[in-house]
Chains A and B, each alone.
Chain A
Amino acid sequence: DAGVTQSPTHLIKTRGQQVTLRCSPKSGHDTVSWYQQALGQGPQFIFQYYEEEERQRGNFPDRFSGHQFPNYSSELNVNALLLGDSALYLCASSTRGRDEKLFFGSGTQLSVL
Chain B
Amino acid sequence: AQSVTQLDSQVPVFEEAPVELRCNYSSSVSVYLFWYVQYPNQGLQLLLKYLSGSTLVKGINGFEAEFNKSQTSFHLRKPSVHISDTAEYFCAVIEGFAGKSTFGDGTTLTVKP
A residues near B (Cβ < 8 Å) are 4, 33, 40-45, 48, 56, 58, 90, 92, 97-107
A104–B43 CA distance with the chains assembled, in angstroms:
5
Chain A residues with CB below 8 A from B100, complex form: 33, 45, 48, 56, 58, 99
Give the A-B pair count, Cβ closer than 8 A.
56
Q: Chain B's nearest CB lies how many Å from the CB of A62?
A: 19
B residues near A (Cβ < 8 Å) are 4, 32, 36, 41-46, 49, 51, 90, 92, 94, 98-106
Tell me whether B43 and A90 are in contact (CB under 8 A): yes
Chain B residues with CB below 8 A from A45, complex form: 100-102
Tell me whether B43 and A107 are in contact (CB under 8 A): yes
Residue of B nearest to A9 (CB): B41
Chain B residues with CB below 8 A from A107, complex form: 42-43
For the complex of A and B, list the 3 residue pairs with the smallest distance between their C-beta atoms, beginning with the closest: A42-B103, A104-B43, A104-B44
Chain A residues with CB below 8 A from B41, complex form: 106
A107–B38 CA distance with the chains assembled, in angstroms:
11
A14–B94 CA distance with the chains assembled, in angstroms:
35
Q: Chain A's nearest CB lies how many Å from the CB of B15?
A: 25
Tell me whether B49 and A40 are in contact (CB under 8 A): no
Name the residue among B44, B49, B98, B104 with the largest chain A CB count within 10 angstroms.
Answer: B44
Residue of A nearest to B41 (CB): A106
Tell me whether A97 and B98 are in contact (CB under 8 A): yes
Q: Chain B's nearest CB lies how many Å from the CB of A43?
A: 5
Tell me whether A90 and B44 are in contact (CB under 8 A): yes
Tell me whether A100 and B44 are in contact (CB under 8 A): no
- A-B contacts, 18 of them at CB < 8 A, read A4-B43, A33-B100, A40-B106, A42-B104, A45-B100, A45-B102, A58-B100, A92-B43, A92-B44, A99-B98, A100-B32, A100-B51, A102-B101, A104-B36, A104-B45, A106-B41, A107-B42, A107-B43
Chain B residues with CB below 8 A from A43, complex form: 44, 90, 101, 103
Which of A33, A42, A106 contacts B43 (CB under 8 A)?
A106
Residue of B nearest to A44 (CB): B103
Tell me whether B44 and A99 are in contact (CB under 8 A): no
